[in-house]
Chains A and B, each alone.
Chain A
Amino acid sequence: MSDAFLDLQGLSLGYGATLAVPALDLAMAEGELLALLGPSGCGKTTTMRAIAGLLQPRAGRITLAGRDITRVSAHQREVGLVFQSYALFPHLSVFENVAFGLRLRKVDAAELQRRTQEAIAMVGLAGFERRLPRELSGGQQQRVALARSVVVRPRLLLLDEPLSNLDARLRLEMRSELQRLQRELGVTMMYVTHDQSEALALADRVVVMREGRIAQQGSPVDIYERPRSAFVARFVGFENVFAASADGALRPWVEGQPGRAWRPRQVLLGQGPHEGQVLGASYLGESVEVLLHTAAGPVKAQAAPDAPRRVPGETLRFDLPIADAVLLDE
């Protein structure tokens, strides 16, 4: 019996005929903010729904705070879930939405009032108690969803891409709100997202998933600076992946073989042993993204805005310094 706060052992999950997650092992510590990161279809939402109790595992075990909850129904797991679509109760006011869980637990009137008000204030919506969900903006609905889940003091809070429906600026705002909330309340949180910058910014630990399996897990720095596979590397921005050749020549990377990866800003343009044709140069404000064509595949480089302008068709020498490369196992 492990003493991890949340422990997934050999979890096998599927829908109908398809097996989405073959055998997953994952552990979380109490008070941790864990991000499940991956492209759509990688199994992160499936895993989350299984932890929530909305999906029965085919095999495996889920333990939370020492208690085996694999066969426990969703409503008794003390796990909270904030939905991507917020899923507020349309016929209830903000107050009643937030108080819903407390009413079910037959919390007495005075305490219910107090805790609900507290939760509403904590997410910055004091004064909105009487409003109905349809009268709220996306960001406000998001906050109600959060308050609603948090007020019942769940042991574990799951968030399913909660910010993906918000515009960029609001997303950044809410991101720091979430972080602040988690620190204040000390709630153990699992955050599902496909946005790597979000995962890196928020999480204590990041778990990258691919096709139902864990590709790599570690601290944000670990994932960002030391990806171990081409999949993870590409996910965190290492756009240039090539085979790890002994002689330093540029060869296309093959799945399953060791490789080397560079970020666009690590490519040195103008001089070097390699040669390519410029396919295009896009002005991005802070930098210029230059796309090169080589025999071994495309190379994406980053140039300063004031560097000499690159013309499509132009032949350019460039270097991918081996010393700077990240080594990939597969």
Chain B
Amino acid sequence: MTRPFNGMRFSGALALGAVLLFLLGPFVVIALAGLSAGDTLAFPPQGLSLRWVIAVFGMDNFRASFWLSLQLAIGSTALALLLGVPAAYGLARYRVPGRELVRTLLIAPLIVPGIIVGLALLRHAVIPLDLGVTWALILAHTVLVVPYAVRVVTASLDNLRTDVEEAAVMLGATRLQTFFRIVLPNIRSGIIAAFILGFVTSFNQVPVSLFLTGPGITTLPIDMLTSMEFVYDPSIAALSALMALLSIAIVAVAERALGLSRYV
């Protein structure tokens, strides 16, 4: 509909402005609180400075949990793609018995709350098999990201007609060659979109990791959560602001380059 409410223009803008203030205001608040020059967490901040932002980079515990989160996000997303891309392709292009069932299976982790996945893995996989904390986290995060990989790549594949692959075969390409020379280049942006989606999901993830982190080995968001209870300086705020900026930057770049919203 184009401009159906001409009479409402003013009140419409007002409503919009208020809602956006509500949605984005807190982010601005936290960013400013993190840029405070003072010693305690307060808003409005007592002066602006980058001191806490810089300090955060020096805090060993946050650095460690940041690295873990980063490696976890990259590792689990890569693994999820390694599993998910062939699966999406196999299900899209071949007559697999029980196709819809398998597809539902692969998307299932999206429906179960993360905390349950974490607890279930802890009790019935990690402890019995005596897996280390890192492996447990990788397992849990990969489970979480696989649905995104499958869904996004499936959408990409639906846009690529099968006769293009048949044409490659008729010209002498084996299925493998067809996949690497014809299919992959054409679903590349879908794969990148899936990677970014998976990365952001894993990086920001809390519930799944709650039961799986251990002393000294924890993810950044959980580290922040636990620190909230006893830290009263702006360091967590500064960290929040940094994390938020990172997420926004990644997704903004992706949207520009790929039109991310097409795949979600």
Contacts and interface: CB of A to CB of B under 8 A. Distances in A.
Q: Tell whether any CB of A sits under 8 Å from a CB of B in the complex.
A: yes
Contact of B166 (A83, A90, A152): A83
A73 B168 CA distance: 13
Contacts of B177: 104
B174 to A, nearest CB: 6
B130 interface: no
B169 A89 contact: no
B186 A81 contact: no
- Interface secondary structure of B, over-half rule: helix
Interface in B168-225: 168-174, 177, 181-182, 185-186
A75 B165 CA distance: 11
Given A85-B161, A90-B186, A104 B171 contact: yes
A80 B170 contact: yes
B167 A75 contact: no
A130 interface: no
B167 A83 contact: yes
Given A90-B186, A91-B185, A91-B186, A85 B163 contact: yes
Given A89-B182, A91-B186, A75 B174 contact: yes
A101 interface: yes
B182 A152 contact: no
Nearest to A145: B167
Nearest to B159: A90
Contacts of A169: none
Contacts of A83: 163, 166-167
A104 B163 CA distance: 18
A100 B163 contact: no
Contacts of B161: 85, 87
A87 B172 contact: no
A307 to B, nearest CB: 49
A149 B171 CA distance: 7
A52 interface: yes
A163 B167 CA distance: 17
Interface residues of A, number: 25
Contacts of A104: 171-173, 177
A105 interface: yes
B50 interface: no
B164 interface: yes
A328 interface: no
Interface in A62-92: 73-76, 79-81, 83, 85, 87-91
A87 B162 CA distance: 9
Interface in B133-183: 161, 163-164, 166-174, 177, 181-182
A148 interface: yes
Contacts of B172: 75-76, 101, 104-105, 152
Nearest to A91: B185
Interface string A197-240: 00000000000000000000000000000000000000000000
20 contacts: A75-B169, A75-B172, A75-B174, A76-B172, A81-B170, A87-B161, A88-B167, A90-B164, A91-B185, A100-B168, A100-B171, A100-B181, A101-B171, A104-B171, A104-B172, A104-B173, A145-B167, A149-B170, A152-B171, A152-B172
Given A87-B163, A89-B167, A91-B185, 11 more contacts: A75-B174, A80-B171, A81-B166, A85-B161, A87-B164, A89-B164, A89-B168, A91-B186, A100-B173, A148-B167, A149-B170
Interface of A: 52-54, 73-76, 79-81, 83, 85, 87-91, 100-101, 104-105, 145, 148-149, 152
Interface of B: 161, 163-164, 166-174, 177, 181-182, 185-186
